[in-house]
């Protein structure tokens, strides 16, 4: 059962968390909301729909050092490890779609080929979800059965209600942390929090009218690869890669060595994008995705089919970031609707 946190106690909770963890939380800056490190007096944005970048960057940073190497004449190359153990991090304010995004990344980096850097960060992070009270016109998480109030996947779930927050630990890590704040929390003896939560759920559910239905899309894409449709929509794509950089589930990276002309250096990995022409370029000059058609198809197939094929979890969580930011309005919701129509034509 959720506990109650009075609104004037939020700062005390954040301050307490910041003593145990490096704490990041949503802050409004230049018209957008970003996760920023906590400082005393920093105003938390409680009115945002979604942050400009998802919390993916805290588990899978945009650029990170993998190792250092030193060439020694007549001896083996000396290789030293990655960056030191990352700080314990608490992310306050992860939305349900972004928590679902992390659930989609977990099998990629923690499955058959575990990635030690992701796994270490994942073990050391405390995810505090913040349920959504309203959706924007670009949100469609409900299409993928994500409940925006639920904060599934969080260690601690928080929902802002009229005059308090409901706070619930969902994992052992969450329980252990909340135990430190028992003096701030009250019990919901009258059941008002449960009643307010179901009212809030009904209210936000009305915000999702007209969202697409992706239910049959994967089956259709399993059968259809060479659709002229991809060429039609790809002609608009600029190949800017924004859609992949801001996506909470995209996870492609490039690896490169920086030596600055010396026989020693560092190996880094940084985010890459399947929307860039040279992403699939091969040493002999062959490129299996030579035109925007193949690249756009790959991106939507990855979101709606390939990730499900590989990990049995969807590659889109309906956060709406790519819908909002694509400069030519290549809208994944429209793609789902269009494919549904093509599917109707097939029957
Ligand atoms: S954001 Fe739009 S234009 Fe840019 S690569 Fe993605 S689909 Fe293409
Ligand atoms: S494909 Fe677009 S809507 Fe789906 S999770 Fe990625 S950024 Fe969000």
pLDDT digits (tens, 9 = 90+) for 265-283: 999 999 999 999 999 999 9
229 shares its domain with 166: no
**From its phi and psi, is residue 71 left (phi > 0), alpha (psi between -120 and 50) or beta?**
beta
Say yes or no to pLDDT of 347 above 60: no
pTM above 0.85, yes or no: yes
Chain center to CA of 3: 27
Q: Residue 74's pLDDT is what? A: 86
- Compare 110 and 72 and report the one with higher pLDDT: 110
Mean pLDDT of the chain: 94
184 shares its domain with 283: no
Q: Residue 69's pLDDT is what? A: 93
Whether the CB-CB separation of 173 and 157 falls below 8 Å is answered with no
Q: Which bound ligand lies closest to the C-alpha atom of 247? A: 2
Say yes or no to pLDDT of 346 above 70: no
Question: Using a 6 Å cutoff on CB, does residue 169 contact ligand 2?
Answer: no
By residue range, what is the domain housing residue 318?
217-346
Whether the CB-CB separation of 153 and 125 falls below 8 Å is answered with no
Q: Residue 192's pLDDT is what? A: 84
pLDDT tier at 87 (50, 70, 90 boundaries)?
confident
17 shares its domain with 159: yes
Q: How far is the CA of 238 from the centre of ligand 1 (A)?
A: 6
Q: Residue 262's pLDDT is what? A: 77
Q: Residue 242's pLDDT is what? A: 97
Cα–Cα dist 80/94, whole Å: 34
67 shares its domain with 160: yes
Atom 7 of ligand 2, nearest CA residue: 247
**From its phi and psi, is residue 138 left (phi > 0), alpha (psi between -120 and 50) or beta?**
alpha
178 shares its domain with 229: no
Of 81-90, 142-151, 263-272, 305-314, which range is least confident? Answer: 81-90
> Residues near 147 by Cβ (< 8 Å), separated by ≥ 6?
96, 201
Say yes or no to pLDDT of 83 above 70: no
Q: Looking at residues 80-100, what average pLDDT do you find?
A: 90
Best substitution site from 138, 243, 274, 331 to test ligand 1's pocket, by max atoms within 8 Å of Cβ? 243
Question: Using a 6 Å cutoff on CB, does residue 2 contact ligand 2?
Answer: no
Atom 8 of ligand 2, nearest CA residue: 319
> Residues near 107 by Cβ (< 8 Å), separated by ≥ 6?
310, 311, 313
Atom 6 of ligand 2, nearest CA residue: 247
17 shares its domain with 130: yes
Q: Determine the length of the chain.
A: 347
Question: Using a 6 Å cutoff on CB, does residue 50 contact ligand 2?
Answer: no
163 shares its domain with 235: no
Q: Residue 185's pLDDT is what? A: 95
**Residue 110 placed within a domain:** yes
Whether the CB-CB separation of 136 and 50 falls below 8 Å is answered with yes
Whether the CB-CB separation of 44 and 14 falls below 8 Å is answered with yes
> Which segments of the chain does DSSP mark as H helices, in order?
10-20, 56-59, 96-110, 116-124, 172-179, 192-205, 217-223, 228-234, 242-245, 292-301, 307-311, 321-325, 332-346
The DSSP symbol for 276 reads S
**Residue 212 placed within a domain:** no
Q: CA–CA distance from 272 to each of 252, 254, 290 (Å)?
A: 5, 6, 17
Half-sphere exposure for 307 (CA within 13 Å, toward CB): 23
What's the token pair of residue 228? 């002229």
**Residue 241 placed within a domain:** yes
pLDDT tier at 81 (50, 70, 90 boundaries)?
confident
166 shares its domain with 259: no
Say yes or no to pLDDT of 319 above 90: yes
Q: Backbone phi, then psi, for 155, in 5-degree steps?
A: -75, -35
Chain center to CA of 184: 30
**Residue 210 placed within a domain:** no
Q: Residue 205's pLDDT is what? A: 87
Number of domains in the chain: 2
**Residue 295 placed within a domain:** yes
Q: Final residue of a domain: which of 171, 205, 239?
A: 205
Q: Is 213 helix (H, G, I), strand (E, B) or coil?
A: coil
184 shares its domain with 110: yes
């Amino acid at each position: 059962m959720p506990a109650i946190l009075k609104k004037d106690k939020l700062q005390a909770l954040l301050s307490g968390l910041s003593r145990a963890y490096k704490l990041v939380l949503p802050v409004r800056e230049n018209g957008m909301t970003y996760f920023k490190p906590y400082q005393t007096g920093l105003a938390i944005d409680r009115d945002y729909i979604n942050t400009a970048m998802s919390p993916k960057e805290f588990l899978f940073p945009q650029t990170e050092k993998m190792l250092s190497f030193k060439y020694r004449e007549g001896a083996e190359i000396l290789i030293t490890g990655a960056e030191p153990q990352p700080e314990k991090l608490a992310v306050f304010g992860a939305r349900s779609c972004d928590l679902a995004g992390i659930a989609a990344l977990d099998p990629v980096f923690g499955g058959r080929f575990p990635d030690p850097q992701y796994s270490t960060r994942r073990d050391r992070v405390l995810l505090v979800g913040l349920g959504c009270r309203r959706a924007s016109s670009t949100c469609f998480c409900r299409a993928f059965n994500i409940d925006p109030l639920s904060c599934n996947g969080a260690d601690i779930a928080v929902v802002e209600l009229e005059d308090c927050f409901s706070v619930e630990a969902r994992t052992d890590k969450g329980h252990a942390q909340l135990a430190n704040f028992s003096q701030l929390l009250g019990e919901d003896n009258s059941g008002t929090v449960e009643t307010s939560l179901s009212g809030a759920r009904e209210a936000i559910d009305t915000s999702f009218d007209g969202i697409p239905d992706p239910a049959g899309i994967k089956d259709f894409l399993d059968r259809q690869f060479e659709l002229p449709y991809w060429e039609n929509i790809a002609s608009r794509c600029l190949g800017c890669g924004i859609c992949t950089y801001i996506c909470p589930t995209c996870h492609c990276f490039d690896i490169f060595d920086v030596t600055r002309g010396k026989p020693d250096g560092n190996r880094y990995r940084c985010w890459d994008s399947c929307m860039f022409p040279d992403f699939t370029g091969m040493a002999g000059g062959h490129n299996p995705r030579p035109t925007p058609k193949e690249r756009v198809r790959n991106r939507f197939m990855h979101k709606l089919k390939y990730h499900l094929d590989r990990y049995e979890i969807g590659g889109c969580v309906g956060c709406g970031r790519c819908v909002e930011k694509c400069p030519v309005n290549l809208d994944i919701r429209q793609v789902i609707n269009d494919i549904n129509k093509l599917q109707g034509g097939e029957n």
